[in-house]
Amino acid sequence: MIGPNRRIRTKLEAGERAFGFTVQLPSPELVELGGAAGYDYCWIDAEHGSLGLTELRELIRAADAAGIDSIVRVADHSASFIQRVLDLGATGIMVPHVRSVEEGKALAAAARYSPAGLRGACPFVRSAAHVSEDWTADYQRADADVLVFGLIEDIEGVENVEAIAAESGLDGLVYGPFDLGQALGLHADIAHPTVRAYHDRVVDACRKADIEYVTAGVAWEFGAEATNGSRIISVVGDRGSIFQTWKTALQEAATALR
């Protein structure tokens, strides 16, 4: 099998937290930088980033080379695209707009082979080292190690979150305050009390169901990251951190030369 890093699961099994970063830009070097900086995983954004399958493959390869996990946020619930991403060797997937138990179950099934799921089986894919020499061992390991996270970012998803957490078979849930703030007619105001109350409901549902609450970004937790129970924490994103670093450097240079 390719991509034996298994960083997130190893950290969780050891009672430790796993820290990651978000990548939207099609640059394998950024993934390598994150690995060199000590992160455990990269969250590759194929929903909002400018990434096709070719770029995804190279980012996943960079994560493998850097010794970190790769979680791909897919654009929708397409089982065929989920299969292609996992065949490329991604550690797992993050799926937007999970609104019901039925949707959660379908996503969990799309990521696992029969009899546990419905993922199409093929021994000639990158995730199986291109040619599997022990298919039984390879697919059983893939089923055991794959991570499937669902984004709760719709009003319907919040209303069903307790059932989604307890019954869908997902490994964890991610809270999406920006989409929820937009759906509530709040112009994506993530600090609004209703959006914050929904956050607490998602955290509580994960805790009661004993699944992971995945932090999408520490800036969206408003200091709650120490108490929300999250063990999988995305810290920074490429666009935002590059922009802020460059903007600050420009301001400091301009000030120094006045």
Of residues 48, 77, 187, 192, which has the active-site annotation?
A: 48
Kindly report the length of the chain: 258
Identify whether the C-beta of residue 138 lies closer than 8 Å to the C-beta of residue 123.
Answer: yes
Radius of gyration in angstroms for the set of CA atoms belonging to the chain, rounded to a whole number:
19
The DSSP output letter for 174 is E
Provide the b/e sequence for 221-231 (b: ≥16 CB within 10 Å).
beebbeebebb
Instruction: For strands 69-73 and 41-45, give the pairing.
Output: parallel
Packing angle between helix 79-87 and helix 101-110, nearest 10 degrees? 40
Q: Report yes or no: 132 and 101 within 8 Å, Cβ to Cβ.
A: no
Rounded distance, CA 35 to CA 62, Å?
9
Reading the block at residue 79, the tokens are 């089982």
48 as an active site residue: the answer is: yes
Count other Cβ atoms within 10 Å, centred on residue 76.
11
Residue 76 near residue 94, CB atoms below 8 Å = no
Query: What SS3 class is residue 23?
Result: strand
Active site residues: 48
